[in-house]
């Protein structure tokens, strides 16, 4: 490997203050000490440098990362910056939180090391719940306002569930934009796993219609200048010929090359979706050098398994060039056994067809549940 970027999902704890319906993770006790964090960060930078990567992305996630004390973040975020400088690597840090525990004491740190941004999760439904009770939506809005007051931009991961589908794409987007002043969204489709079962899954065609309608509204309303919705802009750019545009990890041809996740116990795996699946672990960073784990048999095995998971339908699909088979972890969980392919494959195909048709013809018709409202 010469050049390029590698992303690390750092999960210093799996503990969480919420119990959301769709969550894939178990909230086991345990967290990194500052000493362990230093060891992990040093290992990461040493590996990235030796492997020839030019840039590095650290995504701090959980569990809920804001459960960890300010002292912890005051230690690790600057430490990562210092290590990047000493190793000569370009560093980007980000954090994904439910935001409920946001406090202004972190304002300066987030501005200095996270580019003034924090990723959050929110949708207009009742699927998110605070552990031990409490109204998630109310608490989230308070936290969101605190962050906004501190000039922190909070994007959201937004789940498309039954309630959201019923509300319709246009109404959902307008409310998020107008009522909640949301300016960054990435939609998620609910995933079946050992934790969630299949009860939350939604119909693939309905999901496809929602995404298509959301895209058309987004394109009518001014695209990213209105709301930045991932991954609409990057897919459009790809259809328009920019094959080098950076796509979300869902659409990477081989995400095992570019993503590693480190768990609270030092376990190393592909991504957060596999956090609770011991069979997918490459090994433990406290026992084995990261470079050996990266080059090791387990990662190769998982990479080969991901490739082998692709069906002939997938290989024949002309949209393979866009999605590259989609997220392997979610495909694994959601695989529709009758069709032997990703449950939401048809949803994404509908979105791709809509984007393609919109770009080719300028057509902006929605599927018709409601009209765009400004």
Residues forming contacts to another protein in the complex (CB under 8 A) are: 1-2, 4, 239, 243, 253-254, 256-257, 295, 299-300, 303-304, 307-308, 310, 312, 315-322, 324, 356, 360
CA 5/CA 48 separation, integer angstroms: 9
At which residue do the structure tokens 């987007």 appear?
173
In the complex, what is the shortest distance from the CB of residue 54 to another protein, in angstroms, rounded to a whole number?
Answer: 13
Closer Cβ to another protein, 279 or 308, answer by number: 308
In the complex, what is the shortest distance from the CB of residue 311 to another protein, in angstroms, rounded to a whole number?
Answer: 10
Helix axes 232-239, 204-221, angle to 10 degrees: 80
Closer Cβ to another protein, 24 or 350, answer by number: 350
Sign of CA dihedral 213, 214, 219, 222: positive
In the complex, what is the shortest distance from the CB of residue 355 to another protein, in angstroms, rounded to a whole number?
Answer: 11
Structural tokens at position 150: 């501190």
C-alpha Rg value of the chain to the nearest Å: 20
Closer Cβ to another protein, 41 or 350, answer by number: 350
Closer Cβ to another protein, 255 or 263, answer by number: 255
In the complex, what is the shortest distance from the CB of residue 187 to another protein, in angstroms, rounded to a whole number?
Answer: 23
In the complex, what is the shortest distance from the CB of residue 51 to another protein, in angstroms, rounded to a whole number?
Answer: 11
Closer Cβ to another protein, 53 or 72, answer by number: 53
CA-to-CA separations, 374 to 157, 213, 229, in angstroms, rounded: 22, 15, 17
At which residue do the structure tokens 């937004």 appear?
158
Output b/e per residue, 12-28; b: 16+ Cβ within 10 A.
bbbbbbbebbbbbbebe
């Amino acid at each position: 490997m010469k050049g390029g970027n590698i992303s690390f999902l750092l999960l210093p704890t799996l503990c969480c203050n919420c119990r959301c319906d769709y969550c894939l993770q178990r909230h086991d006790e345990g967290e990194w000490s500052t000493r362990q964090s230093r060891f992990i960060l040093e290992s990461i930078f040493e590996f990235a440098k030796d492997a020839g990567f030019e840039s590095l992305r650290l995504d701090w996630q959980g569990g809920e990362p804001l459960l960890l004390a300010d002292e912890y973040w005051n230690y690790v975020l600057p430490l990562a910056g210092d290590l990047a400088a000493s190793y000569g690597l370009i560093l980007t840090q980000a954090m994904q939180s439910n935001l409920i525990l946001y406090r202004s004491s972190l304002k300066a740190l987030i501005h200095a090391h996270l580019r003034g941004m924090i990723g959050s999760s929110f949708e207009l439904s009742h699927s998110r719940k605070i552990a031990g009770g409490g109204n998630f939506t109310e608490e989230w809005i308070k936290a969101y306002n605190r962050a906004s007051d501190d000039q922190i931009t909070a994007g959201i991961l937004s789940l498309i569930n039954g309630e959201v589908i019923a509300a319709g794409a246009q109404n959902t987007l307008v409310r998020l934009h107008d009522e909640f002043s949301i300016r960054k969204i990435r939609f998620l489709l609910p995933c079946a796993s050992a934790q969630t079962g299949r009860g939350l899954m939604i119909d693939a065609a309905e999901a496809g219609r929602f995404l298509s309608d959301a895209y058309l509204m987004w394109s009518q309303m001014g695209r990213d200048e209105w709301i930045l919705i991932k991954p609409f802009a990057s897919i459009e750019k790809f259809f328009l010929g920019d094959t080098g545009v950076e796509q979300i990890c869902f659409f990477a041809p081989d995400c095992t090359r570019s993503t590693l996740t480190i768990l609270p116990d030092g376990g190393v795996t592909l991504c957060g979706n596999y956090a609770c699946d011991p069979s997918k672990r490459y090994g433990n960073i406290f026992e084995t050098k990261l470079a050996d784990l990266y080059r090791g048999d387990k990662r190769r095995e998982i990479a080969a398994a991901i490739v082998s998971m692709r069906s002939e339908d997938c290989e024949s699909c002309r949209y393979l060039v866009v999605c590259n088979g989609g997220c392997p972890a979610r495909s694994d969980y959601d695989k529709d056994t009758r069709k032997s392919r990703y449950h939401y494959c048809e949803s994404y195909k509908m979105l791709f067809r809509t984007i393609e048709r919109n770009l080719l013809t300028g057509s902006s018709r929605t599927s018709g549940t409601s009209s765009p409202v400004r």
